[in-house]
């Protein structure tokens, strides 16, 4: 019988991946805006707000770090075959 190694994410990996995606989307949502309907009007306080300039990019970077961790996290094997599944063919 040939042995097939288990490949894929565990539920913990998916949880970290979804958390990272939510953090990324929140960062991009905070970065949206600052425009004006009137082209002759310029509001520098709204365009260059601290949330849009510092907090949003920080959240995006944190989100990418969490996603990277979710992808690279290796879980210990839970079965006695050391993570290998035997093919029954």
User: pLDDT tens digits for the chain (89 residues)?
Assistant: 556 566 678 888 999 999 999 999 999 999 997 777 777 888 888 888 888 999 999 999 999 999 999 999 887 766 555 555 556 65
Residue 63 exposed, middle or buried by CB count within 10 Å (0-12, 13-18, 19+): buried
The whole model's pTM is what? 0.71
Domain that holds residue 54: 3-86
How large is the C-alpha radius of gyration of the chain? 22
Residue whose pair of structure tokens reads 């944190």 in the numeric block: 62
Number of domains in the chain: 1
- Cα(89)–Cα(73) distance, integer angstroms: 31
- Residue 4's φ and ψ, nearest 5 degrees, are -115, 125
DSSP 8-class letter at 86: E
């Amino acid at each position: 019988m040939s042995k097939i190694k288990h490949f894929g994410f565990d539920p913990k990996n998916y949880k970290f991946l979804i958390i990272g995606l939510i953090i990324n989307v929140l960062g991009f949502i905070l970065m949206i805006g600052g425009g004006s309907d009137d082209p002759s009007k310029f509001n520098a306080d709204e365009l260059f707000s601290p949330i849009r300039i510092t907090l949003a990019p920080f959240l995006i970077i944190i989100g990418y770090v969490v996603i990277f961790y979710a992808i690279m996290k290796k879980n210990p094997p839970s079965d006695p075959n050391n993570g290998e599944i035997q093919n029954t063919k």
